[in-house]
Amino acid sequence: MTTPLVHRGVEAGVATLTLDNPRNRNALSRQLVAELLDGLAAAEADDSVRVVVLRAEGPSFCSGADLAEASTDGMAQGAQQLIDIQRAIVAATKPVVVRLHGPVRAGGLGIVGAADIVISADTVSFAFTEALLGLAPAAISLTTLPRLTSRAAARSFLTGQTFDAAAAVQMGLISEAVAPDVLDAAVDAVVADLLLASPQGLRETKALLSGSLIADIDARRDDVAAQSARLFASDEARAAMQAFLQRRKKA
């Protein structure tokens, strides 16, 4: 039996999806992505669910693409799956709230960009690391570029620099940064506010917020997926990923 990497729970109108592969820093492996998509679909189909909360176990929220898989199998399927996750979050008729307790890198920021509300501990760090590895944040640009100012996008995408939660708020990437000891209370407060709204009100308002973004995802997905697959397959990126994985083994 394969150990599940995403756990699901429903209580009092809230579906909670928990990424739980700490040994791999909750990287977006094929298994984790498939289970996350299943969890999102189940929450969408469950009439008792009013709000979806995404969270994670372990030190990291999500380290991005599973580089071990990508360096051997390429990223053609992985890029499409990452776009599917983002689209599922954006197109959900129920609000999706992300609880960030630990670092987020690269592909994980696509989940952040797609979510409706993101509450983060103020100790969390963020980075679009793709350019450092000979890649580009192609697939996740679909949901992160609409959130960021153009100057913030240029600096963070091109340099790959790490930035903190306060900067992420200022850039428009996340909604709020709070002290770690009040993170759960802050998430609970947002969820409580959302539960006050009617299902129809939430559904129709989400449609207003996400309509143009869904159209853009559908129009551009094949191009950015192809770019991602091409870059992951390049000699330059493969060498950089192998070097990164070797450094991680020694750490």
Backbone φ and ψ of 105, nearest 5°: -130, 145
Distance CA 186, CA 136 (A): 33
| CA Rg value for the chain | 17
The pTM (predicted TM-score) of the whole model is: 0.96
User: CB–CB of 118/112 below 8 Å?
Assistant: yes
pLDDT tens-place string over residues 113-123: 999 999 999 99
pLDDT of residue 93: 97
Tell me the domains of the chain and their CATH numbers. 6-181 (3.90.226.10)
User: CB–CB of 78/106 below 8 Å?
Assistant: no
pLDDT of residue 246: 86
Q: Tell me the torsion sign for CA atoms 23, 24, 28, 29.
A: negative
Angle at 213 between CA 197 and CA 108, to 5 degrees: 85
Q: How far is CA 142 from CA 157, 207, 244, in A?
A: 13, 17, 26
Class of residue 214 by CB neighbours under 10 A (exposed 0-12, middle 13-18, buried 19+)? middle
Distance CA 160, CA 155 (A): 8
pLDDT of residue 42: 98
Distance CA 120, CA 124 (A): 7
The low-confidence residues of the chain, meaning pLDDT below 50, are: none
User: CB–CB of 78/245 below 8 Å?
Assistant: no
Class of residue 236 by CB neighbours under 10 A (exposed 0-12, middle 13-18, buried 19+)? exposed
pLDDT of residue 251: 66
